[in-house]
Structure 1
């Protein structure tokens, strides 16, 4: 079992920090329950519905008639012989999906062998194009213990925004963009009332169509996306665990209210969150998720009012075992065709992400999880389908006690308590994906025109930072680490000497000769140092005049901010790095006086 510690701010903390009341909450990550057609007997789920997504061929009567679709489904059930072995078993028609498929369910659970029999019977019907079990997905957040801080400030605990090694360089991005005018749909457990999030939350919609999963007294979909909790107390259903309030946390990373003197910050704090509830007790059904994707992007879903706030970005911090189904792929393709960028988490099984959905779907941005050092988080899925990595965090990793991703949360064990200014730490690829979704919002808010999903993905990849630690070749994690600053600068070019893109390349033991400049001149270079490097040093020599040498890891040094410097009289300067880190080092040669003919060199073994 994993657990979470969170903290609650007292009412007077809205004006100033006060002593904290600490609440400990435990929560399990529920493993996905997939009803697949394997030939071995497995236990059937004890709660919720066993549902199938049936696509009838174009031109058939079943395609246009719900009555005929149900009649065909019942005929398949009779032909399967299951009504003999299961007296009273019947087929129920639930609804039509956005892609024209029909959702049906059987009146009682089936084990995997019986389910496979029914699927085969469906498949031989000439009117059926495909039939797919409506599997459940769960959120991809790992909840773990965090240290309770005395001062709930963003810079103290949200390393994932600020850290020069493992963070996303948020402050430099905030200088130019905050996501204003962009809507991000967060398909998750919904949201709870939170004073540091409410102002940036739109009404949204609850797409859960099973009362067991939703904890509502009806199977109907309803306006709003209130999180009723996903706790469970029966091992036979899907394990035991307390409510995660996962959607409140992911929404906070995207757009928690900022600059209000309380709590922490959201990466795209000028954007709006469109919460779409698709996960509840024991996860959520693919049919609900697929319809929610279409609706969130502005598409039409039978029985659901039109979305008045179509999203430019969809965040899905969720997943389940198995490759991408055509139902999920069709929904994603519809969203992308509507101009919506779809961001998904890679998954938390330390496995190839090709074995999970929606991470294995096409036309998504697949996000792996990194940790404080910028390396792979131990739990993160990997593989060629991972596009980019972003902070997912973890428990005390790399000697950082608050190495989780900190955000808004609700600390109730079951049903949410209203109006709690609570913040907590979580870890997982669920936490990584919202960093990318928020960065897309920042980008779209200042782009001269709306960028297509393909253009967005290209900019994210082109501006990614190199991993500062080696990523094993058998566990690839995408092109690199998310760099929000560089993404923004890709549409608003950086100006002046302190732009990373202006750095001239410097190769190991290859002198850069003939440097010259006036007093105050700043010449910038960069070298990507491998993680195996030792005896790293930078030196200048030769020529006339007087220079100062400034070195900084991961960011451009300035005369006021640098890691190491050398400022002897003349041009013979040396900076040694006793323990080198893998990644980009930036070097500045600054004219203390006018200089000419100076040589700069970087050396490492």
Structure 2
């Protein structure tokens, strides 16, 4: 590891949206808020009757509701004794717009259908969701404000963690295991630690008196004198690496002391596997299984099984079979395994455990939203997160967290900056804790991976080599986790089987769903043949829309192709929208 330190459930059915012709601006950016309370802000054109006459405005809204009903469900239409949907005006705003509200809760698809129907009135100039704002949850920790905001905030290189906090995600109730050097007694970290374990089964590496594993997980130091690890090895100071990693995940926050943790209401189980000269693979593998709640001979049961494991460690070799088996066991128990990609500026496939299947492999990015030059790369990297590039200086070149100033043995607790994929990985592990804390039900490891990759934002500076799906976006990942599992409608596509798309009028859409198995190398969605003009949008476990998609194809005509490399297991949705009437079109999904 490079360490640079400086002081201080699904309903499947076909669905079409009726055709609505309109030139009004339609803002779908806050469409999720319309599923909470279906309120919209409408601007009617100057001089129109709808703008000044309540009766004319209500007639327009009633007509729009009638246009929208064919694309909505029975509860909206008003069948089986339910009251039909009605839209009415609440009030006029200070700037001359009108706030309107639907009489029933709506799904995302229903809200979009209704908005487009209202926008079809030629006297409507614009319509937007009446977005819901939330209290700013900015903690009062001084190091957050002075040093950590670049990697937690909304700047060019930030992971948007502060926005996720504002949405109410704190990691409450989630346990994260940190398999590392253990943890030191730091007052800004220790309150969020659960009892851990020292897994090092060799006194020469552990610095303890015996080879026995012991409770606690405390870091005794990994520094060693010259020649200790092998002939000619230089002397080294202790890194207190696990303390830094654990602080990034769950440093005590909003106590007006030090900095903040990504998931500050989560709890960390520190597991010590790295000591002087490193750590044994056999000890690490046992720690992985134990952390997830699995059984390890000679070890007591783990009273705090982790939903997330962070491993900011690795070696320059391919994934070992025993390590893969341990990871598979953890994943089978529902634990998401997050691993640092490594810091050798080389292909991640030559590094373990970052190259092992069933892990989320994390590269590093810098203050400018660029790939950190030391970060490993390649198709095996799932996404990147702030790790500090070092080149921006102090503080923006580093990731800031809890540490200790002891040379070899623990001494005084401090705060310090490090760089490395070791620092990027706990950002992702912390965000996984945020996601699990807001999800309606526990997310499986494969879903977590898919949501993280689908929500990642593009690099500001495009990397010259493959570096995953983009940079971690905590706010978008948390939003997807909140909405995961909401019923969606879509016409199922059988992989590699061509089928005909129904004719679409201008403005109409059809949604398809493809079930992708574990281990797929690529997913390709194609429309072709026929006539008309189409646009296609893709999303993972969520409805695709122009303002919310992971990929799109908007070429002229009907031939649209969307390719997704290394798709996560789960459901991918594709929305095809006709901007000009289309017929005779064929559609196909390939899963390789």
TM-score w.r.t. the length of structure 2 is: 0.57
Does the CA contact (< 8 Å) of 2:192 and 2:267 recur in 1? yes
Tell me which of 324, 329, 336 is aligned to 2:324: 329
In structure 2, the partner of 1:471 is 463
Question: Structure 1 residues 404-413 or 238-247, which shifts more?
Answer: 238-247
Does the CA contact (< 8 Å) of 2:439 and 2:483 recur in 1? no
Tell me which of 393, 401, 407 is aligned to 1:413: 407
Alignment partners' CA distance in 2, 1:275 and 1:427? 21
Alignment partners' CA distance in 2, 1:207 and 1:527? 44
Alignment partners' CA distance in 1, 2:3 and 2:402? 19
Q: 1:302 to 1:352 in 2, by over 3 A?
A: same
In structure 1, the partner of 2:12 is none
Deviation at 1:395, TM superposition (A): 2.2
Tell me which of 144, 158, 162 is aligned to 1:167: 158
Deviation at 1:463, TM superposition (A): 0.4
> Per the alignment, in what secondary structure is the counterpart of residue 284 of structure 1?
coil
Deviation at 1:164, TM superposition (A): 1.8
Q: 1:2 to 1:354 in 2, by over 3 A?
A: closer
Deviation at 1:421, TM superposition (A): 4.1
Deviation at 1:172, TM superposition (A): 1.0
- Give me the CA root mean square deviation: 2.1
Q: How does 1:292-307 map to 2 (within 5 A)?
A: 292-307=287-302
Alignment partners' CA distance in 1, 2:387 and 2:220? 25
CA deviation string 1:109-130 (max 9, x = no partner):
xxxxxxxxxxxxxxxxxxxxxx
- 1:447 to 2:447 alignment: no
CA deviation string 1:487-522 (max 9, x = no partner):
11113359xxxxxxxxxxxxxxxxxxxxxxxxxxxx
Q: 1:217 to 1:527 in 2, by over 3 A?
A: closer
Q: How does 1:150-161 map to 2 (within 5 A)?
A: 152-158=142-148, 159-161=150-152
- 1:6 to 2:32 alignment: no
In structure 2, the partner of 1:182 is 174
CA deviation string 1:131-184 (max 9, x = no partner):
xxxxxxxxxxxxxxxxxxxx9420210111014211111111002210000000
Deviation at 1:332, TM superposition (A): 0.2
In structure 1, the partner of 2:378 is 383
Q: 1:490 to 1:248 in 2, by over 3 A?
A: same
CA deviation string 1:512-565 (max 9, x = no partner):
xxxxxxxxxxxx98999xxxxxxxxxxxxxxxxxxxxxxxxxxxxxxxxxxxxx
Q: 1:306 to 1:171 in 2, by over 3 A?
A: same
Tell me which of 265, 280, 286 is aligned to 1:285: 280
TM-score w.r.t. the length of structure 1 is: 0.56
Alignment partners' CA distance in 1, 2:431 and 2:5? 27
- 1:483 to 2:501 alignment: no
Alignment partners' CA distance in 2, 1:228 and 1:485? 36
> Per the alignment, in what secondary structure is the counterpart of residue 165 of structure 1?
coil
Segments of 5+ residues of structure 2 without an aligned counterpart are 9-140, 485-545, 551-592
Does the CA contact (< 8 Å) of 1:395 and 1:401 recur in 2? no
Alignment partners' CA distance in 2, 1:525 and 1:328? 41
Tell me which of 165, 173, 184 is aligned to 1:192: 184
Deviation at 1:401, TM superposition (A): 4.4
Alignment partners' CA distance in 2, 1:400 and 1:264? 16
Does the CA contact (< 8 Å) of 1:165 and 1:374 recur in 2? yes
In structure 2, the partner of 1:358 is 353
Alignment partners' CA distance in 1, 2:342 and 2:157? 19
